[in-house]
Amino acid sequence: MEGAAEVAGLLGRLDSLDRDVTLALNAWHNPVTDAVWQFFSHVQIWYAMYLIIIVFFFIRLGWKKALIVTASCILFVVACDQFANLIKHTVCRLRPMEDADMIARGLNVLEGHGGLYGFFSAHAANCLGFAVCSTMGFRNDHRSSYRGYALFIYIWAVLVGVSRVFVGKHYLGDVLAGFAVGALLGWFFGWLAQMFCRKI
């Protein structure tokens, strides 16, 4: 019982810290930065970028490897989304924008209501995982290290993830957990793609 109480106390302190840090970050806003964070947070804006990346898979890898890498990225997103939904409805942690205490403490909300629960951030997981999986996918072309692409896509993924704090949809802890899950799943599907590509 003492062990359970200690764990509960630790989780309570972490939750309190997460709330305070989220509010501190979220408070750094003005009309210009609000527009920037809304831009990064808006999923549909990035569909064209995904399509361009897939086109470059075919240009750089050849159609066989490109199909494998594209499939690995799609399977990653499906698996990550399903896992995120499972965890959200198991943990049942309210989004900051759904929490009356966070609203009362001055949370800046820039987007409409989504689902009730936010742990962990599927935006953060999907974006960082896609960055990992697609970078590993490009590196099936051994003519280049794709460092420029990696730098671009990782910066993009971090900005999208962090934007969720600034628009009021997630706690920073939700985003960091999403990054960790996305990186692991992205690596796994990227590794599977590499295994299949080696057989070609």
Beta bridge partners of 94: 117
Q: Strand, helix or coil at 94?
A: strand
The total number of residues shown for the chain amounts to: 200
Tell me, what's the pLDDT at 2?
A: 65
Q: What domain count does the chain have?
A: 1
Q: How far apart are the C-alpha atoms of 22 and 166, rounded to whole Å?
A: 8
Quote the CA–CA distance of 49 and 11 in Å, as a whole number. Answer: 38
Cα separation of 93 and 87, whole Å? 10
Q: Is 34's pLDDT higher than 90?
A: yes
Query: What is the span of the domain harbouring residue 185?
Result: 2-198
Query: 91-130: per-residue pLDDT in tens?
Result: 999 999 999 999 999 999 998 877 899 999 999 999 999 9
Q: Do 126 and 182 meet the contact criterion of CB atoms below 8 Å apart?
A: yes
**Residue 120 in 3-state DSSP?**
coil
Q: Which residue bears the tokens 């064209």?
A: 48
pLDDT in tens, 77-94: 999 999 999 999 999 999
- pTM of the predicted model, to two decimals? 0.92
